[in-house]
Structure 1
Amino acid sequence: MILLGKARLFSLVFMSHYVVKFCIGGDVITATEHIQDPASITSSGGLYRMGFFSPNGSANRYVGIWYDNVPTYNVLWVANRENPILDSSGVVKISNDGNLVVMNGKGELVWSSNVSNSVTDAKAQLLDSGNLVLLKHSSNSNGDPLWQSFQHMTNSFLAKMKLSTISNPNEKQALTSWKSPSDPSIGSFSASLVPWYIPELFIWNCSSLYWRSGPIGVPKKQSVYINGFDLVNDQEGTVYLDHSFSEASYLSYLLLKSNGDLVQPYLDHNSSSWKIVWSSRVSDCDVYGQCGPFGICNARNSPICSCLRGFEPKNSEEWRRGNWSSGCIRKSSLQCNGTTNGSSTASKKDGFLKLEMMKVPNSAIFYSTLENDCPGNCSINCSCVAYAYDSGVGCMFWTGDLIDLQKLSVGGTALYVRLAHSELDEKGHLREIVATTVIMGTLIVIITIWFARWKAKKRAVKEGKEKHLSSGEVSSLVMLGENLSRVEFQEFVKYKIEELVAATGNFGEANKLGRGGFGPVYKGRLPNGQEIAIKRLSRASGQGQQEFMNEMVVICNVQHRNLVRLLGCCFEGDEKMIIYEFMPNKSLDTFLFDPLKQVHLDWRTRFNIVDGICRGLLYLHRDSRLRIIHRDLKPSNILLDEELNPKISDFGMARIFGGNENQANTRRVVGTYGYMAPEYAMEGRFSEKSDVFSFGILLLEIISGRRNTSFHNEDQCLSLLGLAWKLWNEENVLALVDPNIPAKCFEVQISRCINVGLLCTQERAKDRPSISTVISMINSEVDLPRPKKPAFTPRKITQDTDSSRKSQKTCSANDVTLTVLQGR
């Protein structure tokens, strides 16, 4: 039992986030004594209260248990979490068969303790441990209960509760998150103990592992993983949770939040407030498998992931971009006790690399052996790739991939990873460092020489000596060169036309990937096997030289994992081409709007795409060297790599802002119908919030799998945005979701994203959030503001430039980029 030693000295106002009514007294419910909303009962020591409450922002009524007379951080237990009462008519009582039940004002059963053995003289009692127990009326609180809330926990774990690793589903205990702070129904996350030799606490996101504690129940090691709590294995399949605070006057418990974080709030009596003493997720390193197999995560490094010594990235290109999920592979094969592939060798045997203060990998094999026996037992087993020893556990061995390796700042265990002897050769390691230094020095010399030659060429360009270029092109190339000189380590190549003709089969139709307002895009393969995408300026293009040079200038100044990477260009005669990295899955629209491919976009993939687009925009708007407004954000300009990670492309319409500039006007409105912000389409005003509007439309399209402009009637066009607003007002937003998405596990996250999509598409730019706020909104549990009626963009702009004077339908069914002129 946890007692708050000084709690009764406090005279605190109830500072809950929840609307709660007060009590009629007592700590029991009997066949003749029930509680009716707003009544409640209190434990005999006055520490806990049970009654009716409404979560923040909700009118629904639930029966729950919370701390009494202290600032409430969270409701600790909920009875009818899946079946709320819609008004204040609820009753908690003992039914005729002896069960504790919750009923609504119509006498309908809302929740029951569901004890199968009938008892005619039962009572329910709220104990000072926070446990609600159902007993025979003649029994005292120390007797065996017929039912108890501690065995049916919700999202909170109190002292005296037990997590069981017993495989019987009727006995196994688990924490389950709320769907959201305003909805206590079962959410996506659950926490339970795995039934291994040394129990570990796992957090699951539906069926996927999200977080693991590492081996627990080890003497003097628990605080490394769960600060303030001891998780003790009783060798009978149950783990007990006990406090280890020196100050007994603190209240504390574990809370599984709706975003999957497991936190430990405690009440600091000095400040009379709840504080978080521990959280399962302090950094991205705490997410399971962040760095993939044989990758090690260290939150103090940048980037946080690196390969173990003796290993290298399995996919170096993805690793460079910050996508580490593919992990690492060995550089040198293991000899395995003096043999390679079964034949004898004079090579030296494998050894072990010691890593200090490690959170050891997942899936250990445990042996109760002496510490000195660990290296030998691992060495003679060709399948053993690592071992560790702890006095409270014994030897731990690993076979196969090492996953979820993390370097800790305190605590942890020494891990020994098996390596080929050549990787342990310190002299060889030193030679590698020297060789790297020499190579880097050579590169610096080469870059210096290249820079000197480039400066000379720039002077020639300024003087107009490259006669095949117009004065406008000379100006643009000078600006391009000035920007290129500031791009460090950019692998930028000037390709010859012959190379690109050969790479594309003379720009054959078979290699044509598509066409935009700029011109056609082709797939090519260089002699070294590298695949590239070539954007070729069409001589008939209405956008032409200015957009081509604009894209070159912009893309040379940006490098981010969610922006397409420029490889080089080609200027020969009338030919102007930009060469990009090749995206094997083409653009988002080829998946999103294709009924056959939509099934490959599950919700996790779609959310990853949304998050990636946000981070790419944040880089453009705030973190890059130049502040850049894209002005043409749409699905066809979001490219997908082999793992369906998004990359923003097509910067021909982008606009670079000065240091103090946050808004600009133009008479030349460019972009795509259906994605333009109203102030831009009608008045030519654009800013970061213009991109936010386009992102809002794109977000709703990703959720629904439908184009914003795919709604057609004879007299009018109902856009996707209009449908989303209609469903929002009907409180039926999930009807917007693509039927290919099973939304049960992701209902809260999807609803938040729809809310954010509507906020991004508000009529007035100042009402829209910045992209940094959008990232916070979709990745946290903060309460979101209710959107106002969004902007319904104009269906037609009548005055077009020469590049787009062809008559437009009132409702364009495509999303081709247009350049239009709108007078102001």
Structure 2
Amino acid sequence: MTLFLHKSILLLLLIIQSVACLSIENDTISTGVVIKDSQTITSPKQIYKLGFFSPPNTTNRYLAIFFAFSQETVIWVANRDTPLTDSSGSVTLSRDGNLVILDGTNRTVWSTNLTTSPTNPVVQILDTGNLVLREEASGDMLWESFSHPTDIQVQGMPLSQNVKTGKQVLLTAWKNATDPGTGRFTGGLDVTSGTPQLYIRDIEGRPRLRSGPWNVKTYPRIGLFGKEPYPRIRILRILIRVSVSVPHRFYAHLDGFNHVTNDSAGNFFFTPQLMNDRHIISSVNFSGSMERKVWNGNKWDLVLVAPENECDVYGKCGPFGSCNIMQSPICSCLRGFEPVNEDEWRRGNWTDGCRRKNRLQCGGDGFAMLQNMKVPDFAKPLLSMVQDECRTICRRNCSCIAYAYDGNIGCMFWSDTLIDTQDFGSVGVSLYIRLSASEFDSSTRRKLYIIIGVAAGFVCISVMMFIAWWLIVKRKGDKEKDTSIVEAGHMFTTDSTAIVLRNESNEVNIGELPKFTFKMLANATNQFHVTNLLGRGGFGPVYKGIGRGILYLHRDSRLRIIHRDLKPSNVLLDQDWNPKISDFGMARIFGGNEDHGNTARVVGTYGYMAPEYGMGGRFSEKSDVYSFGVLILEIVKGEKNTHYFNDELSLSLVGCAWKMWSEGNGLSFVEENIASREMEEEMVRCIQIGLLCVQEYPKDRPSIEIALSMLSRDIVELPLPKQPVFVENGSIPGPGSTDQNVFSSNELTLTVLDGR
């Protein structure tokens, strides 16, 4: 009887042991099952295991999850801060339903610490690497290891933050290579600034590394991990510097679809999605760096270490400083700023950063564009799909010190400090920094070479001699109208009645304006010698003509003069490339308080005539402003208005300028040989000034002095132009014409130019 009892007990123990062994080979731990130190459970597809391990150079034991095919790669540690000192430990489900780790004396050293006791709990390791504790009957999740990560993120594991409570799920580095205890650095998602970003911070919360904002598709071209995204797919592009000798040569590694999503409870999640037959891990190591590895079938390949260089370290150049790894020194102050401490800056200590040179005045401030930038930290986003709206919003808010635009984020604004800014050199977004108007003076003179000819042509030209000759010839016309001079085989008729000004000498008093006799002019031109001939216009030959320009004609002269035929062929360049206005054969003088006039004889060149003049014969100084605007657009485009017609868009030069500018694509209007992103802001400004000058109604056009102030940036802020007239079908048609480049039968001029 006693022998039978012993055999029965032995058989029962063998059965219990067999059941226990079967459970161990499974993927679950159910009530009553004990996993000892040497035993493991494996996920259904045998990807992950749960068991005990010891780090290198130590005998301490920890419960961990590791890869079945690479057991030295530990992705999660349970009792990281309470190690077992020997191999007598075990893991099981306690009576209250918690998963617990017991030492050799059955003392609990770690627990899941559930607040409620489940009825029938079960622990399972999934093929995602997630260890879950759930109710077996209902499947309700009670606890999961993904919500309590250590230092590694695997595919399918979310890092998150709740914007309402601030609670975060973060990676936490080991103390060192042999101790998995809680270390000094954490890594994860942060959305407190309004745009999701990845950070690595130290134990005091100071940033060590920042990715840059998520732009819906990638951690973008404005961020550390996405300096140039893949097209059409939502990914995180990892860039690797493959050679220090080729600093801009990068290879990209595709690590799966990385989503930033949010739910109704205010949680934002950053989740690398699962990919078949590919295992990728990201970790925050004990030195504060992020590493990315890919399993190649035999070993882990290291594809990313960040920070990659000094510029990737958060705030390397301090407030208002910018880092560029390709420069020496790597730190420089943003435009409009200077080092706080010059001595420290020269020694390579840039932590104090920079300070503003000139105080902002709000209303008169402008914006400097910095291209290919990683945007600063603490951006405040505002959804807007039109870039011009960003500028308008920032300009109206005096506390806004910078803005940027991304097509998927919208507008981003900064109102305090610009920190952790980096110049990528070839990729990134444009950052616009608010500066005092005085900051633009010297740089504008260097950059506005496109409009130097235009501005100088109407500010510095002097036409005193030519105006004097014009007035004197008109006054003396009756006396000398039959005079002609033959020289070197050429005859030039000096019939002053051909000049439109002939009837106005009695209406105005030219006062102290210098008077020149015909003889004086003949002597000045060597008897109108051919060597002094510049060209022949519709009203006769044109000789070398010095003056101050259109501003003198409209404002500085005692007699207001309207040119009425401003066009490229009437703007001449001397040997020093100084522009001169010529051909005053159709000019009109206003006396007293006159500021406009009417005529039944419309003279000039279609394409340069203001609408009110070409259609109704009304002219004023704003008529010249219209011609000036056309001239600006011609210089920017590099084509004549009268010869230009866009077959694809069915638009004239003015219409094409309006369409491209109003669509925010002004750079496409610029002549390709001078178009560049570096000059985009200045070129678009010239186009806008030109469009302001060619508005339909004279009252809407600026005066010539206002236009010149805009060009020289004495006026920084520009109003928005209204749509010009005749923008749909080429040049304004003349009476009885059928060709697109037609001219009226009224008294138009056609100038024939000869080389000087």
Q: What is the TM-score with the length of structure 1 in the denominator? A: 0.45
Bigger Rg, which one: 2
Q: What is the TM-score with the length of structure 2 in the denominator? A: 0.49
